[in-house]
Amino acid sequence: MKTVKIYDTTLRDGSQSEDISFSVEDKIRIAHKLDGLGVHYIEGGWPGSNPKDLEFFKRVRRSDLKQAKIVAFGSTRHPDKTAEEDPNLKNLIEAKTEVVTIFGKCWDMHVEKALSTSLDENLRMVHDSLVFLKKHFAEVLFDAEHFFDGYKKNPAYALKVVQEAESAGADWVVLCDTNGGSLPSEVAEGCAQVRKKVSTRIGIHTHNDSELAVANTLVAVQAGVEQVQGTINGFGERCGNANLVSIIPNLKLKLGLDCVSAEQMKTLTDVSSFVYELANKTHWNHQPYVGKSAFAHKGGVHVSAIQKNRETYEHIEPETVGNVQRILISDLAGKSNIVLKAKEYGIDVNGNDPKVKKILDTLKSSEQLGYQYEGAEASFELLMRDALGEKEYFFDFVGFRVIVEKRSEDEEPISEATVKIRVNGVLEVTAAEGTGPVNALDKAIKKALGKFYPELENVSLFDYKVRILDEKKGTQAKTRVLVESGDHNSKWGTVGVSENIIEASWQALIDSLEYKLNAFSKNPRGR
């Protein structure tokens, strides 16, 4: 069976979408999810372009990835510099990744107008940069930028660029539809011509400006390409990149190609939702394969047929991509997801256990209120353990108060929080100031609980996101708060929902500490 390598660029290309910004913590967590999905390459960013990417490469080296190779991205040397003195290439080396990718121009117009250099100098830039990088990296990829546009305008030169990359030792030549304007027939022809000219392995990188990125990727594979590049949920600049969430099941289920394992593909829906949450974006319910509506049936004729034979209105079994069938008039599905999640958290539960239905009912009612548990795994685990009678309670909430005061126009506001809790019958009242109301609350809670549970001293708040759930209600709108916390050993996400942003934040903060205390009580040394 032919193997196709999956190259994910969500953390670099995906984050270039105008409405997406990942923190370093987000990028680390997404990298682990991608590794679990079976992605072969994870492009982490462009070293030297910003401090965040440098920090990511530094920290990801300490991550225990099972399969994926981390890739640093950059460009060919500058026309006025040698490869040895080019700062961009030096930054790639300093990232200390196993693999590196650089792009170079294939379109003569871009060479002359954008780079303001000659066609021959561009060839030397490609050659010099790759030869230099091959001395430092085991695997070097060359992104042939604007290949298909270049091939249409000047096919001889575009092919000469990829041949130059091969002669310089590139391990992969990746053909890019950078403007996203090519048709599948044009992509197929371009890939076939390159296949005749070079023996180096070929990849494909497409953009979605014509709504053809997935189709163009698939025809490229059928033309001999062995690596596909894209992003989770199709995130990316302008109209986005090729959507790996659609490409992966199309490769495996439709074309019968080896890319990820069947078990790994079952995590696809979870990975898609997880990235939506960390990107702070609304889920696309109608997204193929993984959307909430992808296998939902409402019409009477459809419902009647699907109950007799699911193939009547489903092109695949939803479970193969981690999704579920939904009969909207009765909503019969969902237990299998609960059982799978329980196993993930080390909880042994039978699908026929009445408690599973209780969890499912609680989950559905929570989602009706606006809760979303992708990216808030800790809150969901607490919900499950509570329904199963396995959750421990370490304190009782009595009340809290937050005061925000601004004393003069030229001074920053002062936030002060007072928290009342009861531990083993003892009432504890504490107050703390912070840089904002949430920070003050966080400090006050930990101050109140610290004397009883010293293990909370190591818990830090890493990230805080707010989503407005019903924008039409203005300042009365319900908000969802997603908090990421962690200690020296692990990180976890929690969620809160309320019309009051402070209340939603309180819920997420309390869940965070309850999760830590429950985990610590079960494994004092490991958590």
Q: What is the pTM of this model?
A: 0.74
pLDDT tens per residue, range 477-524: 899 999 999 988 888 999 999 999 999 999 999 999 999 999 877 665
**End of a domain among 233, 253, 278?**
278
Please indicate, yes or no, whether residues 380 and 273 belong to a single structural domain of this protein. no
In a domain, 379, yes or no: yes
In a domain, 324, yes or no: no
pLDDT tens per residue, range 206-222: 999 999 999 999 999 99
Run of H or E residues at 100: strand 99-105
Task: Quote the percentage of the chain above a pLDDT of 70.
Answer: 95
Within its chain, how far is the Cα of 149 from the centroid? 30
Which pLDDT band holds residue 408 (cuts at 50, 70, 90)? confident
Considering only the C-alpha atoms of the chain, give the largest distance between any 2 of them, rounded to a whole number of Å.
82
pLDDT at 337: 60
> First CA to last CA across the chain, in angstroms?
43
| pLDDT over 70 (residue 341) | no
Distance CA 234, CA 243 (A): 4
CB 518 within 8 A of CB 385: yes
In a domain, 410, yes or no: yes
Indicate the angle between helix axes 213-222 and 184-197, nearest 10 degrees: 40
In a domain, 313, yes or no: no
| pLDDT over 80 (residue 351) | no
- Once rounded to an integer, what is the mean pLDDT over residues 103-124? 96
Please indicate, yes or no, whether residues 431 and 406 belong to a single structural domain of this protein. yes
**End of a domain among 452, 481, 498?**
452
Please indicate, yes or no, whether residues 387 and 483 belong to a single structural domain of this protein. yes
Parent domain of 81: 5-278
Please indicate, yes or no, whether residues 78 and 223 belong to a single structural domain of this protein. yes
In a domain, 527, yes or no: yes
Residue 378 makes CB contacts below 8 A (sequence gap 6+) with: 485, 492, 493, 494, 511, 512, 515
In a domain, 244, yes or no: yes
Q: Which residue has the tokens 């708060």?
A: 481
| pLDDT over 60 (residue 525) | no
Which pLDDT band holds residue 333 (cuts at 50, 70, 90)? very low
pLDDT at 327: 61
In a domain, 13, yes or no: yes
pLDDT tens per residue, range 458-472: 899 888 999 888 767
CATH number of the domain encompassing residue 192: 3.20.20.70
CATH number of the domain encompassing residue 364: 3.30.160.340
| pLDDT over 50 (residue 332) | no
Choose from 48-62, 100-114, 360-374 the range with maximum mean pLDDT.
100-114
* C-alpha atoms less than 13 angstroms from C-alpha of 93 in its C-beta half-sphere: 15
Choose from 5-9, 292-296, 306-310 the range with maximum mean pLDDT.
5-9
Q: Which of 14, 455, 414 is nearest to 245 (CA)?
A: 14
CATH number of the domain encompassing residue 444: 3.30.160
CB 206 within 8 A of CB 217: yes
Distance CA 303, CA 312 (A): 10
- Once rounded to an integer, what is the mean pLDDT over residues 277-302? 86
Please indicate, yes or no, whether residues 434 and 493 belong to a single structural domain of this protein. no
Q: How many residues does the chain have?
A: 527
Average pLDDT value for the chain? 91
Please indicate, yes or no, whether residues 411 and 504 belong to a single structural domain of this protein. no
Structural domains counted in the chain? 3
